[in-house]
Amino acid sequence: MSNVKFNQSGEAQSTSTTTTGETEEEIQDDWTDYQFKGEAKLSVSDLDVHYGADHALKGVSMEIPEESVTALIGPSGCGKSTFLRCLNRMNDRISAAEVDGSVELDGEEIYQDRVNLVELRKRVGMVFQSPNPFPKSVKDNISYGPRKHGDIKTGLVAQMLGRANKDEEDELVERALRNAALWDEVKDRLDDNALGLSGGQQQRLCIARCLAVDSEVILMDEPASALDPIATAKIEDLVTDLAEKYTVVVVTHNMQQAARISDQTAVFLTGGELVEYDKTEKIFENPESQRVEDYVSGKFG
Ligand SMILES: Nc1ncnc2c1ncn2[C@@H]1O[C@H](COP(=O)(O)OP(=O)(O)OP(=O)(O)O)[C@@H](O)[C@H]1O
Ligand SMILES: [Mg+2]
């Protein structure tokens, strides 16, 4: 079994034994070649999650680098969604879930009492498997968050500001839609109900909602699994582009997709264990663990 973890300078730390015939020093040499693109945005240490008697995540530690795409893969039930929900405390909403351990966002513990969960979930946004736009206009879907957070003034202040406020809102809506690669498709339908968009457009709208509130991290749980290949390709291109500015963590069952879009990949296996975490090429071409090799080559899962 391996227990791989990277520190912030990109050096690997491992207590593993090799099944590939290489010495541990040789593997260490490979790993130390891997440099994060930047600092760790999220640092997860010794994370355990129980749902009653079910131990869903076991002692997971990993550092998620900023401005990159981290893929989480593994068979059904291994804890990927549970892990993702730990990163913005969505598990707080599940009464059976008990979370132990530490998650730091930019070096600040998110599991402390005084954390403002609304602010946390603004900074760490989430996109789900099924697109979930509000049953409102395309434009309102985008402006709802900034209004709620006070980034666009409403009520009396808005009336006093008059047109200037409307310009501000229009600009914000356009910017978010452009950055989510959706503007050209919806610019003439901004007042139409978002539920009339295609599934792929709805999913990009959900991503645009995160961008509109200036999320820094975007968590995606199988964001393309309900989409056709063309819509999937658009989401994949968008995810790759987003990584220039955002930290993206994406759960996927599609190994080719993980290989195409991610910089690093974490492999969880049954029992809620993080078995290997490394540069994506290494996971797919030369994983250290036999179990990971069997999984990525389709022998099980
Ligand atoms: N709300 C919940 N209440 C109780 N148990 C849960 C809950 N959510 C998940 N679990 C359990 O935790 C374990 C991990 O589930 P999780 O949904 O995180 O897996 P997953 O890797 O995302 O699976 P999938 O690929 O099927 O989405 C499973 O045993 C599951 O039954
Ligand atoms: Mg899941």
Q: Where are the domains of the chain?
A: 5-133+197-296
Indicate which ligand has the atom closest to the C-alpha of 55. Answer: 1
SS3 213: coil
- Region of 163 (left: φ > 0; alpha: ψ -120 to 50; beta: rest) is alpha
The Cα 216–Cα 88 span in angstroms is 12
Question: For position 2, what pLDDT does the model report?
Answer: 36
Closest C-alpha to ligand 1, atom 22: 81
Distance in angstroms (rounded) separating the CA atoms of residues 132 and 279: 32
Please give the class, per CATH, of domain 5-133+197-296: alpha beta
What are the mean pLDDT values of the chain's consecutive 10-residue runs (301 residues total)?
A: 39 45 51 58 97 96 96 96 97 96 97 94 95 96 90 66 73 95 97 97 96 96 93 95 96 95 96 95 95 89 60
Atom of ligand 1 nearest to the CA of 253: 25
Residue to mutate (ligand 1; options 80, 257, 268, 269; most atoms within 8 A of CB): 80
Question: 100: CA distance to ligand 2 center in Å?
Answer: 20
**Coil, helix or strand at residue 200:** helix
Handedness of CA 141, 147, 151, 155 (dihedral sign): positive
Distance between CA atoms of 208 and 284, rounded to whole angstroms?
A: 31
pTM of the model: 0.87
> How many angstroms is it from 77 CA to the middle of ligand 1?
5
Ligand 2 centroid – CA 74 distance (Å):
10
Q: Give me the residue label for tokens 């730091």.
A: 104
Rg of the chain, C-alpha, whole Å: 20
